[in-house]
Structure 1
Amino acid sequence: METHKKQISSFFTIPEPDSRPFKEKISEFCSTSTMHGLKIVGCHTTHIVRRILWLIAVTACFLFILTMLIVLMIKVHNPGTQTDISINTLEVGEGLQLPAITICSYNQYTLEYLKTAEGIRNWLFLSKLYPDIIPYTDFENLTGLEFNVSSYRENISNVLEVIRDASFNLTSSLKACSWNGQIQQCSSLPGTRTVFTDFGVCYSINYSNDSSYIIKVPGARQGIMIFAFDSFESYIFGENFGSLGFRILVHDPFEYPSVKQFGISVQPSIDTTIALKKNIYQFREGNGCQKRVPQLIGYKRYTENGCMAECVANCVYHKCSCKLFFQSGDYLICNSPESVQCARRSEKLCWTRRDYLQSCNCPLECEHIEYENRISIANYPSLSYKNLFSVLIPNTSLSELSRNAIKMTIYYEDLNVVTFIQSDSYTAEQIFGDIGGQMGLFLGASVLTIAEFCDFIIFALIDKIRCYFKSKKIVNIFQMS
């Protein structure tokens, strides 16, 4: 029992400080250290020249490690980026959602609208709003109608409705669409609606991300086919005047359709096939993108381009107290010549001023969906297709079909979703791996070796302090006696 008590008391008893010379302690530490080279440096029986050479080698390796640590810290502060590619292949039975397809005509305003006196009155009003893109026209020779030009309207309350009525019509331009092997009117396809874009009045298929547009097999047969007839004889002046055909944008259904900037032009008398691949870009937060982004008013999904468009709309409103007809925001549409000209000037100015765009607070989205396209074309239609178009477009000659018929096919080339993931090019695992590898290569050291150094330094200091106070206490005792 007493032996057991002695063991317990000795366990809690603080040992006497090690009063050996510091040189002797270092020699003992070097002889027991796991770091290579220190055993020879601290061994007294080794020749002094050999010990000095090993000391130089160990010191040089140690300084090299310190230099590399500084370089690594710089890399940690500026890690750079790398891009990893991940390919997700869909299994049998799974499918990809068809993107939204926005279709616009280069014939922004149709001649058919001028066949009535009401249309001419509205057209004259639009020509006052947009004198540079809708110039005054000789309506009597153009339409065969007699009309008093002086009776044009000074103001129209619903500008949006007038512009929509004057623009190209979905039913008259897009004759038929084929989806799931069924030919039908394009207007009857799910999720088809009128959209106002920077290219004018357009029509978008699958704008609401309808669940019925699922493609489970790649290839043109499983895509959507559009038959159109674009009579260039009916072309009149407009903002896009000078070209023939359509402009198409394939985009995510929830994103802002910037047709003028990113659309694809499709010309008449051509069969155009557009093969799609879906790509997803995931950017590293802090490298230009932010997860906390402002909520857009007119679009469900945030994009940098959509944010810029809303910012420019706000700029136009603050300068002119109204907006252009295609801009988003809960603002009044400009309906007078002065306000429209002010808005158009302000829009161009806001888009071109870099300092203003930088103040818009429109960071890059951290996830961006893009539909990569590959376009191929062929002459269209062939003679055998005349019977088909005679049903869709009665009383149309083959020469008219050859000049004006358009066929578009949009499909997935494959059902692979390619994801580009941006990440730090130098991660924490690489940092520890580099440090450990260099320490092991040049010094034969590890984390435990560093612990040995810390243990030796700490307890050497403790012994030094305890010896100091112990000697001071003895001196005081002698002085008191």
Structure 2
Amino acid sequence: MKIFLWRSSRRSPPIMTKVGLRLRNCVSIMFKVKIADGKKKNGYIQLFFDSLVNVCANTTAHAIPNIIHTCETFIEYFQYPFTVHLNVYEKDLVDFPAVSICNLNPFDTSKPHTLKYIKEKLAEKNLSTEVHGTDDLPALYQVRQAMKVLKASEMYDRDVNKSFLEYDMGFKLDDMLISCYFNGERCDTTNFTTFFTFEYGNCFTYNKNDFEHKIHKTSRSGPNSGLTLELFTGFPGKQDLFLEKKGLYIVVHNNSYEPDVKFEGMKLPVGFSADVSVHRYFYNRLGPPYGSCKEDTSKSNEDDPEFYKATIALGLYSRRICLEICIQNLFIIPRCNCSDPSIPIVNNSYILCHTMDEINCIDKVRNELDTRDLSIDCDHECPVDCNKIDYEISTNFADYPSEYYFHTIENQPNLSNKFKNFGNLTYSNFKQSVILLNVFYKDLAYSFLQEIPSMHFADAIGIIGGQIGLFLGCSVLTFFEPLEVFIEVCYKLLTKPRKNIIQVKASI
């Protein structure tokens, strides 16, 4: 008996490379079928797929599957990536920045009408000028509450009674200025402009760009240049009612706008010489689709957000002021039925909060907002501006004055006149009342930070074209490969594998 064993012969399936794996995943997604990994077949789809992978792995256009990589280029492009370029430029002559100063004490109680006003307003609120701290009501809380009431009352009276403006409650620049120099040349009160703030009352700006003043330029840097001021802040124990700290508030800012002292600037203590060095930063951000900033914040359009337009109406756009206006209208006014006097007025239909209950209501709303994500409510109303100038400042302090300098200046008329109503001028009183300030450029260079697109549309097309040109190296044989796929698929369909057959022929 002879036994013949016949077994069907099949070519081994191609090796599944990373390219094949990507193709299998793509086909699975497109046809919503699961393609086996060479173990379990899924009919004609699997048959076609095996043939496609085989041709792609051996094609003369040896990297057709790399066209898949081009989708990564598209994904990257539509993520709108950008890079930040930092350039430092040197200049020989630059505009000196605007410098705004405020006395931390908003009320000059040496003026009889100011002291009378304070007593009347406190009496209306059942408060007294005499503060005695307790465990339940610490002195710091009582002093700050009294100051809030006085500031709010003054803002309310200024708003409803225009004749009230004639009664200046705060310090004037003549009351404060002892000496003024810019790059070694004398300056005086005529070089300053005055503006009023809720926080500090009268504030004064040097080198503001307006019709009355010309911007000062400088070609000098370092501590021996810039603006030098000697300032009197009030006699200790006589001109510091409801004030827990004494000193000066300073803001270095762009010449074209009035600063928001609620968010910008820093406090400087009396009894010191403060050197404030300045470095300029210019920012240029990308607008949509790369970012959400607004390119032109000098004007508003009809389709702009309501609070953005309200901020523009006040003057130069500030996102922080816009956010405050948003908080005012969405949270404070609906809850307290009045507006926070520390926020600019944009709607005259609401009165300013000025009673104790109203001020406590504002504090309560503010405390609740501390744990709330305000971006949900206000981000769309207050866009970031694409172009911005920032002044980075650093400070150094030295003890001021020396004993020698005090004895040199104590008989200077414009200084002694500030103390004559309070008794003899002593070194201790002088040190607790006066500050020496010097603002200067650290250097004349400025830093320019610019956002630049990492990929333009032309770049994306170029990359894709380059990939096709690099990887789709075609020959004459390449054009016959689709025919090869067709022939191979037809062959496999016509020559289906046969089962193993054992034929036994018996001979007797």
TM bucket, shorter chain? 0.5 to 0.7
Q: Which residue of 2 aligns with 1:95?
A: 94
Contact 1:227/1:406 (<8 A) preserved: yes
Q: Structure 1 residues 359-368 or 157-166, which shifts more?
A: 157-166
Cα 1:401–1:198 change in 2 (3 A) is closer
Contact 2:353/2:359 (<8 A) preserved: no
Cα 1:317–1:342 change in 2 (3 A) is farther
Counterpart secondary structure, 2:168: helix
Contact 1:269/1:381 (<8 A) preserved: yes
**1:291 and 2:295 aligned:** yes
Q: Which residue of 2 aligns with 1:418?
A: 447
Cα 1:277–1:188 change in 2 (3 A) is same
Q: Which residue of 2 aligns with 1:370?
A: 390
- CA separation in 1, counterparts of 2:337 and 2:219? 49
Count of residue pairs the alignment pairs up: 369
Contact 2:271/2:400 (<8 A) preserved: yes
Q: Which amino acid aligns with 2:249?
A: R
- CA separation in 1, counterparts of 2:360 and 2:209? 33
- CA separation in 2, counterparts of 1:163 and 1:59? 88
Q: CA RMSD in A?
A: 3.7
Cα deviation per residue 1:309-367 (whole Å; 9 max; x = unaligned)?
33345455565355516624363763752685377448737964544752661000011
Q: Which residue of 1 aligns with 2:403?
A: 383
Q: TM-score, with normalisation over the residues of structure 1?
A: 0.66
Deviation of the 1:171 alpha carbon: 2.2
Candidates 229, 245, 248, aligned match of 1:246: 248
Deviation of the 1:107 alpha carbon: 2.2
**1:181 and 2:197 aligned:** no
**1:213 and 2:216 aligned:** yes
**1:393 and 2:415 aligned:** yes
Counterpart secondary structure, 1:111: coil
Instruction: State how 1:328-339 maps to structure 2 within 5 Å.
Output: 328-329=345-346, 331=348, 334=352, 337=355
Cα deviation per residue 1:174-219 (whole Å; 9 max; x = unaligned)?
322212423343x2214x2133154544222234454332223223
Candidates 318, 327, 330, aligned match of 2:344: 327
Contact 1:297/1:328 (<8 A) preserved: no
Candidates 308, 314, 335, aligned match of 2:323: 308
- CA separation in 2, counterparts of 1:327 and 1:130? 24
Counterpart secondary structure, 1:222: coil
Q: Which residue of 1 aligns with 2:58?
A: 56
Cα 1:263–1:126 change in 2 (3 A) is farther
Cα deviation per residue 1:241-293 (whole Å; 9 max; x = unaligned)?
42221121112244452323332121111111111111111111021202255
Q: Which amino acid aligns with 2:117?
A: N
Instruction: State how 1:140-159 maps to structure 2 within 5 Å.
Output: 158-159=157-158
**1:122 and 2:117 aligned:** yes
Deviation of the 1:305 alpha carbon: 1.4
Cα 1:136–1:183 change in 2 (3 A) is farther
Q: Which residue of 2 aligns with 1:274?
A: 276
Counterpart secondary structure, 1:104: strand
- CA separation in 1, counterparts of 2:80 and 2:449? 18
- CA separation in 2, counterparts of 1:357 and 1:408? 41
**1:70 and 2:71 aligned:** yes
**1:137 and 2:154 aligned:** no
Contact 2:236/2:429 (<8 A) preserved: no
Q: Which amino acid aligns with 1:370?
A: D
Q: Which residue of 1 aligns with 2:144?
A: none
Q: TM-score, with normalisation over the residues of structure 2?
A: 0.62
Q: Which amino acid aligns with 2:169?
A: A
Cα 1:199–1:193 change in 2 (3 A) is closer
Contact 2:340/2:353 (<8 A) preserved: no
Contact 1:168/1:201 (<8 A) preserved: yes
Contact 2:277/2:441 (<8 A) preserved: yes
- CA separation in 2, counterparts of 1:396 and 1:308? 47
Instruction: Specify every segment of 5 or more residues in structure 2 that has no aligned partner in the other structure, as ranges.
Output: 1-53, 132-152, 298-307, 417-423, 483-508
Q: Which amino acid aligns with 2:128?
A: Y
- CA separation in 2, counterparts of 1:322 and 1:168? 26
Counterpart secondary structure, 1:289: coil
Q: Which amino acid aligns with 2:104?
A: Y
Q: Which residue of 2 aligns with 1:434?
A: 463
Cα 1:199–1:400 change in 2 (3 A) is closer
Instruction: State how 1:15-30 maps to structure 2 within 5 Å.
Output: none
Cα 1:257–1:243 change in 2 (3 A) is same
Q: Which amino acid aligns with 2:355?
A: P
Contact 1:159/1:335 (<8 A) preserved: no
Q: Which one has a larger percent helix, Structure 1 or Structure 2?
A: 1
Contact 2:105/2:200 (<8 A) preserved: no
Counterpart secondary structure, 1:112: coil
Q: Which amino acid aligns with 1:361?
A: E
- CA separation in 1, counterparts of 2:167 and 2:313? 19
- CA separation in 1, counterparts of 2:361 and 2:380? 18
Sequence identity percentage: 18
Q: Which residue of 2 aligns with 1:104?
A: 102
Cα 1:256–1:121 change in 2 (3 A) is same
Counterpart secondary structure, 1:74: helix
Contact 1:271/1:406 (<8 A) preserved: yes
Contact 1:267/1:406 (<8 A) preserved: yes
Cα deviation per residue 1:58-117 (whole Å; 9 max; x = unaligned)?
4651112x2211111110111223101233322x4x422x2222222222323313xx3x
Cα 1:400–1:298 change in 2 (3 A) is farther
Cα 1:402–1:276 change in 2 (3 A) is same
Cα deviation per residue 1:219-257 (whole Å; 9 max; x = unaligned)?
33431111012333235454xx42221121112244452
- CA separation in 2, counterparts of 1:375 and 1:79? 40
Q: Which residue of 2 aligns with 1:234?
A: 238
Contact 2:296/2:385 (<8 A) preserved: no
Q: Which residue of 2 aligns with 1:348?
A: 366
Higher relative contact order (CA 8 A, sep 6+): 2
Q: Which amino acid aligns with 1:410?
A: V
Cα 1:325–1:438 change in 2 (3 A) is closer
Contact 2:110/2:239 (<8 A) preserved: no
Cα 1:279–1:182 change in 2 (3 A) is same
- CA separation in 1, counterparts of 2:277 and 2:72? 47
Deviation of the 1:369 alpha carbon: 0.9
Contact 2:56/2:63 (<8 A) preserved: no
